[in-house]
Amino acid sequence: MRVGRHPVAQNNVLNQSKRSEMTSNPCFECGQCCQHFRVSFYHGEIAGNDAGVVPAQLTSKLTPHLACMKGTEKGGAPCIALKHTKEEGWRCSIYEDRPSPCREFNILNKDGTPNPECQKLQEVAKQRRLSSVIDP
């Protein structure tokens, strides 16, 4: 006789693990940096340009030498690569191939102090979550 977890119990364990991961990484509950900034970068980062890895179909040309992620052309709108699910929160669909501005924007500064821009955006996300709970 095979002894194992009941599928529902196993799913609950997986969901608890995902929730734990979401609460341990504030980025998964926020995603505001990907919805606020224009994500512009040197066109050489686009796949097909020597060492570029950013998928070309997700970018827009700004100048002969600059590109940006679609959706962020004017700032204040979500990046095309940003995805959200209730189970996993906010995630970058091209995380491993994201452009340099995304790699360089961190929760913490290099000296370990909190990034004030990130803190402001986290507060915006917190207010949005609270208002959606109060006024669903």
For 35-63, how does the pLDDT look when each residue is reduced to its tens digit (9 = 90+)? 999 999 999 999 998 889 999 999 999 99
Select from 33, 56, 58 the least CA-distant residue to 46: 56
Burial letters for 16-34: b for 16+ Cβ neighbours within 10 Å, e otherwise?
Answer: eebeeebeeeebbebbbbb
pLDDT of residue 50: 81
Q: Provide the pairing of β-strand 89-92 with 66-69.
A: unpaired
**What is the pTM assigned to this prediction?**
0.76
What's the rounded mean pLDDT across residues 59-87? 96
Helix, strand, coil distribution of the chain in percent, nearest 5:
45, 15, 40
What's the rounded mean pLDDT across residues 121-131? 86
Amino acid in position 105: F
Inter-residue contact 41 to 68 (CB < 8 Å): yes
pLDDT of residue 92: 97
Stated length of the chain: 136
Q: Which helix (H) or strand (E) holds 41?
A: strand 40-42
pLDDT of residue 13: 43
Q: Whole-angstrom Cα distance, residue 86 to residue 33? A: 19
Domain extents for the chain? 7-134
Asked whether residue 1 carries a pLDDT value surpassing 50, the answer given is no
What's the rounded mean pLDDT across residues 9-32? 63
- Token couple for 55: 């998928």
